[in-house]
């Protein structure tokens, strides 16, 4: 297949995926007793669009399933057939079949296991319950279409290009069109895709509806690489600007007033540019939230539980990279909540709670980070059982541990308190992976839980993976960056507060009555110069994995936002170093991997003791 055709195919795959997503969303939001005609229209149009474009590309299996789907939906829409719960289930299954077919086509690897014919047959069964109408005409029409795929797809493009200013208007046109002519959904090639193209935006119910639909018609598709290279270039510009600023700062302001003004202007403009470029990568979190209604529905149905899902703050924007990597951990936590957290209806009723449990998914900004919360009103974590399990696994626990410390135990590898291992959760793999994934993004995860009342898991994430707020510290003339999220405080220690331990000088430091392990960045990084006496240096209190420790550095240089650069791109991973950044003077500073520092210190300690 040539490149041009490939490009259209790519568009087809992306659009079909969006249609399938909106189809699913609409199906889940459907009120069985009184289906909203607009929602039914939306579902119909999604199926219809897929059928149309699949026909153009000759994907007969997709066409076959969507044809039945469309026919059924049209009956329901025109009131000839009453909507039933089993239909929605079947429609959702058909959507999954379509998704699998789409994936198979995309990878050009046909999947013979996809139950196409059985799905078609079951859709037909439902259809046979009602009298037939002259629906075949539209199918026959699309069979003719594959000869002119390019023109038709171009029209699709044209539509999106024209629509940006007035998505609602365009969508209304679509409605009008279909309302007038329910029996003949596709009169001409060029109009059919036009009218059905934006199914998501208008017909969405406010409760579950993200802005994705509205954004769709007023947006263009750009590859992520292009945006990333733009972000890189702007990063370079920021560094160059900082260099100019430093050079300009050395000039006498009274003699070079205009240069100073211009530099100030440059700084302002660069910052604006950086902000707007960064915002391109930002997506609303509804991108992942939108998949949860289905997940909750399926999971709770399989477990015989009743769960109501509430979404909050789905317009909160965060970096695309963060969103992609957040999806798996969130899915895992939500499954866990339904499986372990929310009780069976009869148990809930016995406990005086409503039979249906509530699962809340929320996202909001707090300070410079994003907080994603998953809370349920289930049974809560069982402190005694977690402790018992921990003892069984020979973990160091005691009854005096705070709740927060106990809850952290569930993130230990291989830790599961589930009584029954189900196919959903309880295998004890997962929560540790969840935590690792979150930490890899520079995020943190916290648990609140109360027995009988529920559990709340909060994930705190940086806004973006590309920029980090850091504290610049100096060690023997070298600058290092400590991510601000890890820092509790920094202080100038008194000699009396620094104590030895086990024959090792300066091993611990007393901070407000607590003894913290004291690590020296000099030793950790193998600096040739010996560290300054502790009382002449600065100690930064850091927290990694919920455990605080003190890090001794020579000096604090300042706090600034730094652009994260990969060290591995041209080099390799270095233990204790998370990445690199470029400072205002063009030099490279390394970003510390705070989570790895205690481990590094332990290794070095062990190596020292092994020496004769």
Minimum CB–partner distance for residue 296 and other proteins (Å): 39
Interaction residues for other proteins, span 238-277 (CB under 8 A): 239
Region of 43-51, 491-499, 502-510, 578-586 interacting with other proteins (CB under 8 A) = 578-586
Check residue 607 for interaction with other proteins (CB under 8 A).
no
Minimum CB–partner distance for residue 83 and other proteins (Å): 55
Sheet arrangement for strand 588-592: 555-563, 467-475, 478-483, 588-592, 577-582
Give the DSSP letter string of 346-395: HHHHHTTS-SSEEEEEEEEEETTEEEEEEEE-S----HHHHHHHHHHTT-
Residue 88 near residue 30 (C-beta atoms within 8 A): yes
Task: Convert residues 508-537 into a mask of x (bound to other proteins by CB under 8 A) and - (unbound).
Answer: ----------------xxxx----------
Region of 258-266, 314-322, 358-366, 566-574 interacting with other proteins (CB under 8 A) = 566-574
Interaction residues for other proteins, span 135-194 (CB under 8 A): none
Residue 116 near residue 101 (C-beta atoms within 8 A): yes
Minimum CB–partner distance for residue 51 and other proteins (Å): 43
Minimum CB–partner distance for residue 275 and other proteins (Å): 19
Instruction: Using the minimum distance from each CB to other proteins, give the nearer residue, 211 or 478.
Output: 478
Check residue 576 for interaction with other proteins (CB under 8 A).
yes
Q: Of these, 40, 589, 597, 601, which contacts other proteins (CB under 8 A)?
A: 589
Residue 205 near residue 308 (C-beta atoms within 8 A): no
The single residue listed with the structure tokens 């660069």 is 270
> Considering only CA atoms, which of 432, 419, 435 is closest in space to residue 343?
419
The single residue listed with the structure tokens 């009120």 is 31
Instruction: Using the minimum distance from each CB to other proteins, give the nearer residue, 295 or 567.
Output: 567
Q: Of these, 565, 584, 596, 599, which contacts other proteins (CB under 8 A)?
A: 565
Instruction: Using the minimum distance from each CB to other proteins, give the nearer residue, 274 or 300.
Output: 274
3-state secondary structure of 254: coil
Check residue 219 for interaction with other proteins (CB under 8 A).
no
Residue 481 near residue 590 (C-beta atoms within 8 A): yes
Check residue 111 for interaction with other proteins (CB under 8 A).
no
- For the chain, helix (H) and strand (E) counts, in that order, are 21, 18
Interaction residues for other proteins, span 464-483 (CB under 8 A): 478
Check residue 587 for interaction with other proteins (CB under 8 A).
yes
CA distance readout (Å), 548 to 279, 367, 462, 540, 567 = 34, 22, 20, 10, 27
Phi, psi of 565 (to 5 degrees): -115, 145
Region of 50-58, 348-356, 464-472, 568-576 interacting with other proteins (CB under 8 A) = 568-576
Instruction: Using the minimum distance from each CB to other proteins, give the nearer residue, 293 or 576.
Output: 576
> Considering only CA atoms, which of 379, 360, 594 is closest in space to residue 487?
594
Give the DSSP letter string of 62-99: HHHHHHHHHHHHHHHHTTSS---HHHHHHHHHHHHHHH
Check residue 568 for interaction with other proteins (CB under 8 A).
yes
CA distance readout (Å), 461 to 78, 103, 365, 389 = 47, 31, 10, 30
Check residue 566 for interaction with other proteins (CB under 8 A).
yes
Minimum CB–partner distance for residue 445 and other proteins (Å): 28
Instruction: Using the minimum distance from each CB to other proteins, give the nearer residue, 504 or 575.
Output: 575
Which positions ≥6 away from 544 have C-beta within 8 Å? Answer: 486, 594, 595, 597, 598
The single residue listed with the structure tokens 């957290």 is 341
Check residue 225 for interaction with other proteins (CB under 8 A).
no
Instruction: Using the minimum distance from each CB to other proteins, give the nearer residue, 240 or 327.
Output: 240
Task: Convert residues 26-45 into a mask of x (bound to other proteins by CB under 8 A) and - (unbound).
Answer: --------------------
**Contacting residues toward other proteins, per CB under 8 A:** 232, 235-236, 239, 478, 524-527, 565-577, 580, 582, 586-590
């Amino acid at each position: 297949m040539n490149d041009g055709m490939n490009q259209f195919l790519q568009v087809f795959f992306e659009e079909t995926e969006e249609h399938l997503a909106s189809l699913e969303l609409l199906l889940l939001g459907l009120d069985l007793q009184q289906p909203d005609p607009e929602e039914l229209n939306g579902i119909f149009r999604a199926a219809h669009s897929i059928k149309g474009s699949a026909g153009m590309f000759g994907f007969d299996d997709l066409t076959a399933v969507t044809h039945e789907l469309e026919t059924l939906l049209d009956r329901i829409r025109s009131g000839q057939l009453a909507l039933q719960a089993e239909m929605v289930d079947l429609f959702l299954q058909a959507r999954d079949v379509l998704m699998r077919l789409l994936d198979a086509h995309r990878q050009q690897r046909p999947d013979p296991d996809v139950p196409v014919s059985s799905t078609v047959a079951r859709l037909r069964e439902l259809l046979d319950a009602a009298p037939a109408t002259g629906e075949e005409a539209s199918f026959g029409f699309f069979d003719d279409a594959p000869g002119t795929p390019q023109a038709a797809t171009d029209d699709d493009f044209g539509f999106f290009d024209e629509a940006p200013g007035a998505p609602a208007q365009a969508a209304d046109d679509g409605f009008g069109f279909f309302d007038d002519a329910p029996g003949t959904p596709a009169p001409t090639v060029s109009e059919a895709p036009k009218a059905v193209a934006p199914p998501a935006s208008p017909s969405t119910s406010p409760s579950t509806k993200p802005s994705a639909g509205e954004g769709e018609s007023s947006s263009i598709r750009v590859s992520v690489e292009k945006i990333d290279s733009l972000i890189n270039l702007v990063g370079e510009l920021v560094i160059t600007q900082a260099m100019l600023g430093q050079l300009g700062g050395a000039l006498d302001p009274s003699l070079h007033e205009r240069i100073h003004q211009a530099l100030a202007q440059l700084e302002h403009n660069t910052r604006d540019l950086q902000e707007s470029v960064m915002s391109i990568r930002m997506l609303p979190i509804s991108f992942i939230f939108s998949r949860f209604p289905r997940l909750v529905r399926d999971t709770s149905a399989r477990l015989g539980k009743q769960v109501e899902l509430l979404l909050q703050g789905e317009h909160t924007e965060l970096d695309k990279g963060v969103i992609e990597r957040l999806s798996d951990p969130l899915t895992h936590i939500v499954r866990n909540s339904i499986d372990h957290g929310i009780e069976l209806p009869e148990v809930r009723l016995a406990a005086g709670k409503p039979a249906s449990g509530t699962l809340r998914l929320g996202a909001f900004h707090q300070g410079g980070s994003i907080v994603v919360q998953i809370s349920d009103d289930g049974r809560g974590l069982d402190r005694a059982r977690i402790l018992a399990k921990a003892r069984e696994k020979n973990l160091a626990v005691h009854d005096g541990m705070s709740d927060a410390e106990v809850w952290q135990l569930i993130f230990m590898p291989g830790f599961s308190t589930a009584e029954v291992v189900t196919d959903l959760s309880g295998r004890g793999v997962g929560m540790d992976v969840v935590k690792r994934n979150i930490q890899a993004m520079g995020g943190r995860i916290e648990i609140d839980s109360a027995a009988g009342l529920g559990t709340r898991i909060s994930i705190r994430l940086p806004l973006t993976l590309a920029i980090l707020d850091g504290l610049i510290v100096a060690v023997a003339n070298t600058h290092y960056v400590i991510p601000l999220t890890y820092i509790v405080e920094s202080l100038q220690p008194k000699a009396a507060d620094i104590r030895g331990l086990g024959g090792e000088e300066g091993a611990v430091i007393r901070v407000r009555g607590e003894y913290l392990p004291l690590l020296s960045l000099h030793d950790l990084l193998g600096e040739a110069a010996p560290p300054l006496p502790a009382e002449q240096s600065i100690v930064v209190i850091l927290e990694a994995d919920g455990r605080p420790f003190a890090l001794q550095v020579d000096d604090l240089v300042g706090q600034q936002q730094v652009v994260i650069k990969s060290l591995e791109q041209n080099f390799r991973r270095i233990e204790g170093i998370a990445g690199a950044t470029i400072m205002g003077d063009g030099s490279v500073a390394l970003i510390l991997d705070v989570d790895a520092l205690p481990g590094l210190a332990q290794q070095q300690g062990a190596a020292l003791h092994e020496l004769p």
